[in-house]
Structure 1
Amino acid sequence: MASVFQDLHDDEVAKIRLLGEQVTVKANEPVFREGDEADFLYFVHTGSVSLFIEKFNTRIEIQRAGSGDWFGEMALYSGGRRTASAATVEDTAFLRVGKEAFRGLLASDPAIEVKIRELVDRRNEKLVLDEKMVSIGGAQGRDMHIGIKGDPSLRESAMERARYESVVDRFLPELVTCFEDLLLNRTVHRILVGFNNGEIRLSTLLDPFAEEFHPAMRLLDGSYVERHFPKIDYASKTAMIRRRYRDIGDDAFFAGLPTHLQHGFSHYFEKWQPVPAEEVAKTIKQLPLLRSIPNFYIRSVTIGILKDAIHMQFNCDGTHIVSAAGYARFLRENL
């Protein structure tokens, strides 16, 4: 990961090091935790440190810092909280530079401050896209699977309860055909299927910022569908979405955003691609399989064309967010 010091000369980094104090931390001890206020940056003298994030229930190492490396400077410069955790891998000796001393140096040496600020803007641009993997870009063809555990008390008892046959279960083959038609041939771009309560939530091109609520039974009525969801072919539909993204990028508000947000979202708007129509169709046709998985009692599923991210929630209050590839693997492993 890029460091905010990477464009500094050796003598400029040496100025920062001169502000430090020596500290030693034993192996397998935390240095700081995600969410802590940033009070120091660290230069590693000997030993090593693991920097990691926890995405729901998964620990992901993002960097291993060893002798000669530094870390913790990003949050210190930005004045925010830690966006990752750090823990020693072995006994480790640091030079630790405090926040006030670091900011005092930047105030007295504008050349260093300008270099760091430019790198921070570039790094923030990348972080915006990485951190919004699901909410902006989806998995972009990768085999993504994020699991979020629910309430343990519900998880222990969910499978002991008798399964309820809802109106969605009774008419699922016909509804599958309807959902495919809505996403591929009509104005709908996202569907949430409530398996237990028969509630279908839809987002459409005509009112993209809101959800509509429809009883499952009404969607089996062809005249009802025609009244609410006019036809539009898939290519025209995705072209309309691209125009809406272009409108956002052309708005005066967008021009006033911080540089990293302008660049990050502009890149996304330009590169956006819909979920391929064949993947949408395949995913929808497999919906009946979800309801029959022995060890999962599904409550709802959300499918859309804007991003490759399928959201499944279960009666144990747990959630799985998967890509199309992850969805196929989930079904293979559990059926």
Structure 2
Amino acid sequence: MILQNKIKKTINSFPFTAIIGQDEMKLALILNVIDPKIGGVMIMGDRGTGKSTTIRAIADLLPQIEIIKDDPFNSNPIDFKKENESNEKLKISTEYIKTPMIDLPLGATEDRVCGTIDIEKALTEGKKAFEPGLLAKANRGLLYVDEVNLLDDHLVDILLDSAASGWNTVEREGISIRHPARFVLIGSGNPEEGELRPQLLDRFGMHAEIKTVKDPILRVKVVKDRISFDMIPDAWTLLYEEQQKKLQNKILEARKLLPTVKIKEDLQIKISEVCSRLDVDGLRGDIVTNRAAIAHAAYHGKTKVTINDIQNVITLCLRHRLRKDPLESIDSGSKVIQIFQEVFEFLD
């Protein structure tokens, strides 16, 4: 046990602020941790472009959270007290833990994801008990699914339903339980290995596209940084400690500012006009773009959304909601920007 603890202490994640390029992915992740109601992010890109590294690095920027001690669902003590405010004598013990970052393996079953009967208790004590799954562990944190485009569609449905509602309901062999499952869902994948069905893709709040760096100088810089980090991870952690702290504080301040940020109705009308002209089905695109623009404004310390905020997020929010036309000569991102410029009369 002592050896395991020592090993855990020496494991360092590559600093988020040290990652070169991939601005789309980094912005989408930051905005989702500022406002989880954006609905998560789907990251599609070439192999070996740092998707997993960046996703794991964002978790290190998040502050510790207070939970009820030994609670399997990471329950928030404030919420628990509100639900039980009639019982004034109720006392609870709390503790602080690192914001959960849960990896969902491709081979995971529905029982492993949602939870199931605790077989050990059933056999030893003769009692029906619930064994929490990965959704319980991810509550108030991040749930990461690598190669999400290869995951069974019914599991993707379960993840998206839980992420949208904030709850997981399990009905198993006489047990009925409902527990909070509020997490930021992050999926990544390689488009060469297959796409998600449009109905599922639409339910991810944002969609970032990652390309391989072409500039030889930047490629060498990335290679040197990675080799150096692998050799002396502790030194790298110290080197970027100040930058990491600044970004962490910026995210925390944005979270506090978020409820005060306003967006004018005329800008909302323009956003909906862009969605209409792009023939986006439903209203999810409108809602997500509004939320993301508000989070972007908060991230930059503003209380009013500007056209610049909308411009920086609208492609991330809409490109995956467009109907694919094989005859189109431009990609979906370019089409979104083109319509945005026409609607907002925005000049290059």
TM > 0.5 fold call: no
* Structure with larger Rg: 1
Name whichever structure is richer in helix by fraction. Answer: 2
Question: TM-score, normalising length from structure 1?
Answer: 0.24
Q: Counting strand residues as a fraction of each chain, which structure ranks higher?
A: 1
